[in-house]
Structure 1
Amino acid sequence: MSVYMVERDLKGINMEALGGAQKAAISKAIEMSAAGTKIKYLRSTFAPEDGRCMCLFEANSDTDVKRLNDDAGLPYHKIVPALDLTP
């Protein structure tokens, strides 16, 4: 599996809605994995000053990540392959 980064613009989102979006991504990943599409939500980084949010997913394809976000109703600008450099 590869890592993909989802870039979002969430300017003006409140913390409750941000938490809800994160829960939606996690739930949809669990649902898709249970149905046979291996995908895992890894983590997000949010910059409240300008609303940028970067979410990392582990999946077999960017198509699976796109489907997760579309099905969960989560907005995004683009999905790109990424390297997770967490020590």
Structure 2
Amino acid sequence: MNTWTAKILEMIAKGASTVSVYTEIALMYESRHQGLRCSMLELDGDTLLHGGAPSYQRHIAMLFTVLRMVLISALAAPQLILASRTG
């Protein structure tokens, strides 16, 4: 196990916030793969939540909020989505 992985496991064991754990995981993957940008999403029931994206600017969090609203609308009125695809 490498040092970074050990640090993340220690954060989890000590009860660090999910956002800080997600951020650390994203930074670890970004450091291993040059040019990669990592975003962590969390599914809470039928809600998609922004978990962490340390290398993205704040507007990406707003995009996830909009996507959530679209998904909720699609689940609430699937006939509208089907109608728009066929018509």
TM-score above 0.5, yes or no? no
TM-score between the two structures when normalised by the length of structure 1: 0.29
Q: Please state which structure has a larger fraction of its residues in strand.
A: 1
TM-score between the two structures when normalised by the length of structure 2: 0.29
Q: Which has the larger radius of gyration?
A: 2
**Larger RCO (alpha carbons 8 Å, 6+ apart):** 1
